[in-house]
C-alpha cells in the first residue's frame, strides 16, 4: 500500500484505508505500507491513531510517532478506531452531543451511528467497521466518517431490486432495506434529509459508485475501480458557541 505521494488526508480516507487494510489482514495477506513522504500527512496519520492501529496489526509503516492532544478528544476529534457495537461508537456520539447540532440532525446522526455499530456484522458481514471525526475549518465544520470493508451495498440490496452499485447507493439513501420492510432501512434516508435541511453535505461510496448529497441535489458518480465495502462521510456546519 503506497501512500508515499499522499499530500492530504482526512477522516473519510483514514477509515477507508483502515477498513481495507483490516480486510486484507483477515484474509491472511501480507501487507506492506509505504508512508507519506510529506511530513504533514504523515504526522496527521500518527496523531489521529492510524499509526497505532497499524501497529496492532503488526504492519510496518515508517510513520513518525506523534502524540495526540488528549484534551481535544470528544470535542475536536475522534481518533480513527474500530467499532462493532454501541459502546465503541460512544466517543462519536459524545462528540456530536458536545457540539449541539441543530435538531433533528444531531439526534438522527447519533441514532444512525449506533444502528451502524450494531448492524455491521449482520449487514456488512465483517466483524467491525472504522470511524473517525474531526472539527476542521477553524472550528466551523464537523466531519464524521465511517467505513467497512464488507460485502457492499449491492450485495446487501440485490434481493430487493438493486442491479448495480449506483442503484444500490440510491436505494440505500432512499430508505430501502435489505428485507424490503418499509419500516426498516430509514437510517441513511433520515440522515440525508437532515443534512439537506441543515446545509450539510454527505457522500456514500460503495463498490464502483459514489453518491454526493448536497442541499440542492444528489450527484451520482461511477468509476472503473471500486471500493470493496462502504464509506459514509458527512460535513456539517458547527453552531458557534456563545458565552
Q: Express each pLDDT in 10-54 by its tens digit.
A: 999 999 999 999 888 888 998 989 999 999 999 999 999 999 999
- Nearest 5°: phi and psi at 135? -90, 125
Average pLDDT, the chain: 88
DSSP string, 155-186: HHHGGGT--SHHHHHHHHHHT--TT--TTS--
Mean pLDDT of 131-149: 92
Neighbours of 125 (CB within 10 A): 13
> CA-CA distance, 212 to 218, in Å (whole number)?
6
Write out the three cell numbers for 80: 480513527
Cα–Cα distances in angstroms (integers) from residue 79 to residues 65, 68, 186, in the given order: 15, 9, 27
- Nearest 5°: phi and psi at 18? -70, -40
Residue 186 has a pLDDT of 60
Neighbours of 66 (CB within 10 A): 14
Residue 174 confidence (pLDDT) above 70: yes
pLDDT digits (tens, 9 = 90+) for 187-209: 788 999 999 999 999 999 999 99
Residue 136 confidence (pLDDT) above 80: yes
b/e 6-30 (16+ beta carbons within 10 angstroms → b): beebbbbbbbbbbbbbbbbbeeeee
Band of pLDDT at residue 86, cut at 50, 70 and 90: confident
Mean pLDDT of 131-140: 92
Q: Check the CA dihedral 16-22-23-28 and report its sign.
A: positive
Q: Give the domains, in start order, of the chain with CATH numbers.
A: 69-237 (3.30.565.10)
Residue 179 has a pLDDT of 59
> CA-CA distance, 60 to 45, in Å (whole number)?
14
Instruction: Decide: pTM greater than 0.75.
Output: yes
* Share of residues in the chain with pLDDT > 70 (%): 93
Three-class secondary structure of residue 58 per DSSP: coil
Cα–Cα distances in angstroms (integers) from residue 209 to residues 66, 160, 168, 242, in the given order: 35, 18, 9, 41
Amino acid at each position: 500500500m503506497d501512500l508515499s505521494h499522499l499530500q492530504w488526508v482526512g477522516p473519510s480516507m483514514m477509515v477507508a484505508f483502515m477498513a481495507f487494510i483490516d480486510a486484507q489482514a483477515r484474509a491472511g495477506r501480507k501487507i506492506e505500507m509505504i508512508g507519506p513522504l510529506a511530513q504533514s500527512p504523515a504526522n496527521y496519520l500518527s496523531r489521529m491513531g492510524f499509526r497505532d492501529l497499524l501497529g496492532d496489526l503488526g504492519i510496518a509503516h515508517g510513520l513518525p510517532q506523534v502524540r495526540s492532544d488528549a484534551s481535544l478528544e470528544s470535542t475536536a476529534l475522534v481518533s480513527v478506531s474500530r467499532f462493532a457495537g454501541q459502546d465503541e461508537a460512544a466517543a462519536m456520539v459524545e462528540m456530536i452531543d458536545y457540539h449541539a447540532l441543530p435538531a433533528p440532525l444531531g439526534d438522527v446522526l447519533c441514532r444512525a451511528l449506533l444502528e451502524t455499530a450494531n448492524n455491521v456484522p449482520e449487514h456488512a458481514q465483517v466483524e467491525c467497521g472504522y470511524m473517525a471525526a474531526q472539527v476542521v475549518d477553524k472550528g466551523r465544520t464537523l466531519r464524521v466518517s465511517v467505513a467497512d470493508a464488507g460485502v457492499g451495498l449491492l450485495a446487501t440490496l440485490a434481493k430487493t431490486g438493486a442491479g448495480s452499485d449506483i442503484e444500490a447507493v440510491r436505494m440505500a439513501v432512499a430508505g430501502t432495506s435489505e428485507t424490503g420492510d418499509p419500516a426498516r432501512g430509514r437510517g441513511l434516508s433520515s440522515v440525508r434529509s437532515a443534512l439537506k435541511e441543515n446545509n450539510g453535505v454527505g457522500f456514500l461510496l460503495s463498490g464502483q459508485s459514489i453518491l454526493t448529497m448536497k442541499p440542492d441535489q444528489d450527484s451520482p458518480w461511477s468509476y472503473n475501480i471500486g471500493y470493496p465495502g462502504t464509506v459514509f462521510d458527512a460535513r456539517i456546519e458547527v453552531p458557534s458557541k456563545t458565552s
